[in-house]
Amino acid sequence: MTSQDFPSFVQSLPEAELADPGLRGWLLQGDSGQVLYHESDSEVEIPEHSHGEQWGIVLRGRIELTIEGRIRVFTRGDMYHIPAGAKHRTHIFPGFRAVEHLGEPNGYRVKRGH
């Protein structure tokens, strides 16, 4: 499957192992963090969890984030920030595309076989 939204040089990055089979993404790895280009064509629920600081921007579609009990919906062009250690859960809607920066180098793993 080839993404229609991310250019081939992004899709040539290592594919990320993500929390749900409905999600697909590619990792740009740095010493102090990771950038994740990701997408979903299905509805995805990610249960409450926490990790290092995260910042993202929605390219297409929408995402609902519940951060420390506060529910917010983000759509195209919206930026979101999750503080380090904040408990949050995620509801992703079909057609979602985003770029996220995780402020820790080992938050996501490369998908096996890639």
pTM: 0.92
Domains of the chain, CATH where assigned: 8-110 (2.60.120.10)
pLDDT tens column, 1-40 = 557 889 999 999 999 999 899 999 999 999 999 999 999 9
Consecutive H or E run containing 60:
strand 54-60
**What six digits make up the tokens of 29?**
């790895």
pLDDT tens column, 40-91 = 999 999 999 999 999 999 999 999 999 999 999 999 999 999 999 999 999 9
Torsion of CA 30, 86, 21, 34, to 10 degrees: -10
